[in-house]
């Protein structure tokens, strides 16, 4: 394999095709009906990562270009989270407002953590370091926003009567929604909490393995993974908090009782 972590030969392509076929077959045989989304997702990932890998060869050489790439990540994350939270397509009316609102939750989660790790010098201010760290944190904040927002939408639709009853008792609209919203939104933090609690015992996540395969010591790998996991926790808690507040204030979901 040389210095590469993965052998980029014909076997790599064959294994990718077989893995995609295995996932698609599982989606069909299980009755979940996810064979087409699996194939589309795999094809999109292949094209996107191919293009991004080529672009990053140039981008990481410049801090300004790296910053622009991070902003692009934020934009894509905001669009993705907006669709998941609202359940509406991008072309439906009010999309810009939904994207900005979802983006606020993503940025509120990721930006403080990125600023801290870069400003402290813990992560060097270089493109090859900034982009991976920012990407991990933005992705975590996006996932937390999407999971919490979707869970809130479903829970508030199911328990609408409870919100209306709280309003009838004199609670303010924000407080009435939060009575239902907070426990539901907290479920979005279960995956990162479980991953952090079991790291090293159940899984060795990507940052740890990446540093080891890149020639780093186990101590350096553990430090990098700890920084990523705790940073993700901070980013995801903040993102869930913000999206919950935005939902409670009527900024995200339409038709809530008032």
Q: Is 199 helix (H, G, I), strand (E, B) or coil?
A: strand
Q: What is the pLDDT of residues 159-206, one digit of tens each?
A: 888 888 888 888 888 888 888 889 889 999 998 888 888 877 776 666
Return the percentage of the chain with pLDDT > 70, whole number: 90
Pick the closest to residue 127 from 59, 73, 191 (CA basis). Answer: 59
8 Å CB contact between 99 and 79: yes
Tens-digit pLDDT profile for residues 73-86 = 999 999 999 999 88
- Alpha carbons within 13 A on the beta-carbon side of 49: 6
Q: 30-69, pLDDT tens digit by residue?
A: 888 888 999 999 999 999 888 888 888 888 888 888 899 9
Residue 245: count of CB within 10 angstroms of its CB: 18
Q: Is 141 exposed, middle or buried (0-12, 13-18, 19+ CB in 10 A)?
A: buried
Kindly calculate the radius of gyration of the chain based on its CA atoms and give it in whole angstroms.
Answer: 21
Q: What's this model's pTM, rounded to 2 decimal places?
A: 0.82
């Amino acid at each position: 394999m040389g210095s590469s972590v993965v052998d980029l030969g014909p076997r790599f392509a064959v294994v990718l095709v077989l893995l995609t076929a295995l996932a698609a077959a599982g989606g069909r045989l299980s009755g979940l009906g996810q064979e087409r989304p699996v194939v589309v997702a795999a094809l999109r990932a292949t094209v996107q990562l191919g293009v991004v890998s080529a672009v990053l060869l140039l981008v990481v050489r410049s801090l300004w270009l790296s910053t622009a790439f991070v902003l692009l990540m934020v934009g894509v994350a905001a669009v993705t989270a907006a669709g998941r939270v609202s359940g509406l397509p991008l072309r439906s009316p009010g999309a810009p407002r939904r994207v900005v609102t979802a983006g606020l939750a993503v940025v509120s989660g990721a930006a403080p953590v990125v600023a801290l790790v870069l400003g402290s010098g813990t992560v060097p201010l270089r493109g090859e370091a900034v982009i991976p760290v920012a990407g991990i944190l933005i992705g975590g904040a996006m996932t937390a926003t999407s999971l919490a927002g979707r869970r809130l939408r479903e829970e508030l639709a199911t328990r609408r009567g409870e919100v209306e009853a709280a309003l009838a008792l004199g609670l303010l609209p924000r407080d009435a929604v939060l009575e239902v919203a907070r426990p539901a939104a907290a479920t979005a933090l279960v995956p990162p909490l479980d991953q952090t609690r079991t790291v090293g015992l159940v899984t060795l996540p990507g940052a740890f393995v990446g540093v080891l395969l890149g020639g780093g010591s186990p101590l350096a790998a553990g430090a990098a993974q700890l920084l990523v996991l705790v940073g993700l926790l901070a980013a995801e808690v903040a993102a869930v908090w913000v999206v919950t507040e935005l939902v409670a204030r009527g900024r995200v979901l339409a038709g809530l009782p008032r």
